[in-house]
Structure 1
């Protein structure tokens, strides 16, 4: 019997998850399909009940449901609780468990560029859900310090307080203060939507004081190379776009559902092809 997986979001017409997941199922020689379900916010509880009723093995969850969906699940794992959002639901005989694979997916992609995070000095731009996911997965690697920079310093302060660790100094900063001290950071991570298509000329921070030895990472993957990454490359820095995070978080979801971690390369190639055809 064909396995059914899906995506709960609103809207979902633009989502590349279906083609990426289908590429993974083909590589695994699995009889499965992945459907994007457009679920309006007031129908979310019904949709979650539908997962049980239709025996859908697993679903991803995207905007705007990643927080609200938690109240309709039977179990939410500790990592997802810490992040405060769920992006993956596993259905085991009607029991629904929520996970969040975003942060781990990001770290897998980052470690392909920076093999060691121990002792690193890291700037995280943004204080929203994506920043929470990144911080939750960064801190077990024991960087020396992490600074959260945000337009609203109060949000950055609140987030830094939540993630303060004995092994890592976690502090807050304004964007302008972080930009003035940018040479201090070996890794800079943009978790905001600044620079995303169609606003491709926008940048979340000035790179005037960027160290040429730094790595600049952007969670955005459309465009593949944001202005932030273009400017960083001009200054000699290594760069990382958001494709790797998208691919690995999807692969980790599949592992939760099937027990198998798929090869990421067919998934990555499918996404790149899709983006280039847009």
Structure 2
């Protein structure tokens, strides 16, 4: 692709960003559709975050994704907040439109799409979500909107989990502290368990947020970590006979939805998936 004065700029805002796979997917999508656009990485120091966003606006960047630790911090800087993002309380996609910063959350559809492919009856399922950050907020909204029977959220900081409870005011949602006892109790009642924490992410690949002895054959284990593709949690869940969903699937789906928002075009998901496989260094990501 030839870079020139008319090249549209998109990117990812977060910190740190050494191992992101987003540029590979989006640049593959631009190439597949012959668009004069490029997707870059903006690793922004927390001390200058607000100034950096002003800079992206001044440079007329067309849109950007937002990841850890800025999914909530970006909200006061926006001029428009999509209703879904407002309900979640976190933004992962921003579109610049006539100097306006419009915030969206594509994590909701990104998370839910791989689950729906399993043809589950969510109204008969109790779900356990580990973590209470921006990604967890999207998962909670997705599951409650889809009619999940009951949703438990466990987090090391109980205060953050309680904020989720206040935010949704839904009798199907319960929260608690994340410790050995509460994890064992919640898992005994859950069919679906979702890890939204960075536990098990590269380079700490030997870590798992759930002890192997608590994993069961009837569980659906969904780990949002995508690097490595097969985390220790996913590996041990497979060994226990559980159904597993790797984080790359959510990554692909949320990226595709961001692409739709930015361009108004249908994303070339086959090209995006191929690029994702190459970036992750695997022939088959399941």
TM-score between both structures, scaled by the size of structure 2: 0.87
1:121 and 2:122 equivalent?
no
1:170 and 2:173 equivalent?
yes
TM superposition shift of 1:56: 2.0
Q: Which residue is equivalent to 2:80?
A: 75
1:56 and 2:65 equivalent?
no
Q: 1:8 aligns with which of 13, 20, 23?
A: 13
Q: Which residue is equivalent to 2:110?
A: 105
1:201 and 2:206 equivalent?
yes
1:147 and 2:156 equivalent?
no
Over aligned residues, Cα RMSD in angstroms? Answer: 2.1
Say which SS state the counterpart of residue 76 (structure 2) adopts: helix
CA 261–207 in structure 1, closer or farther in 2 if over 3 Å, else same: farther
Which segments of 5 or more consecutive residues in structure 2 lack a partner in the other structure? Answer: 1-5
CA 265–122 in structure 1, closer or farther in 2 if over 3 Å, else same: same
Output the CA distance in 1 between the equivalents of 2:115 and 2:218.
15
Q: 1:46 aligns with which of 51, 57, 76?
A: 51
Q: Which residue is equivalent to 1:188?
A: 193
Q: 1:244 aligns with which of 245, 249, 263?
A: 249
Alignment check: 8 A CA contact 1:161 1:170 kept:
no
Alignment check: 8 A CA contact 2:62 2:262 kept:
yes
Which segments of 5 or more consecutive residues in structure 1 lack a partner in the other structure? Answer: none
Output the CA distance in 1 between the equivalents of 2:216 and 2:62.
46
Say which SS state the counterpart of residue 244 (structure 1) adopts: helix
TM superposition shift of 1:77: 1.8
1:87 and 2:105 equivalent?
no
Alignment check: 8 A CA contact 1:120 1:186 kept:
yes
Q: Which residue is equivalent to 2:3?
A: none
TM superposition shift of 1:191: 0.9
1:136 and 2:134 equivalent?
no
Alignment check: 8 A CA contact 2:224 2:246 kept:
yes
TM superposition shift of 1:194: 1.3
CA 53–182 in structure 1, closer or farther in 2 if over 3 Å, else same: closer
Output the CA distance in 2 between the equivalents of 1:181 and 1:49.
43
Alignment check: 8 A CA contact 1:183 1:211 kept:
no
Say which SS state the counterpart of residue 66 (structure 1) adopts: coil
CA 274–136 in structure 1, closer or farther in 2 if over 3 Å, else same: same
Alignment check: 8 A CA contact 1:51 1:91 kept:
no
Q: Which residue is equivalent to 1:228?
A: 233
TM superposition shift of 1:115: 4.2
TM superposition shift of 1:111: 1.9
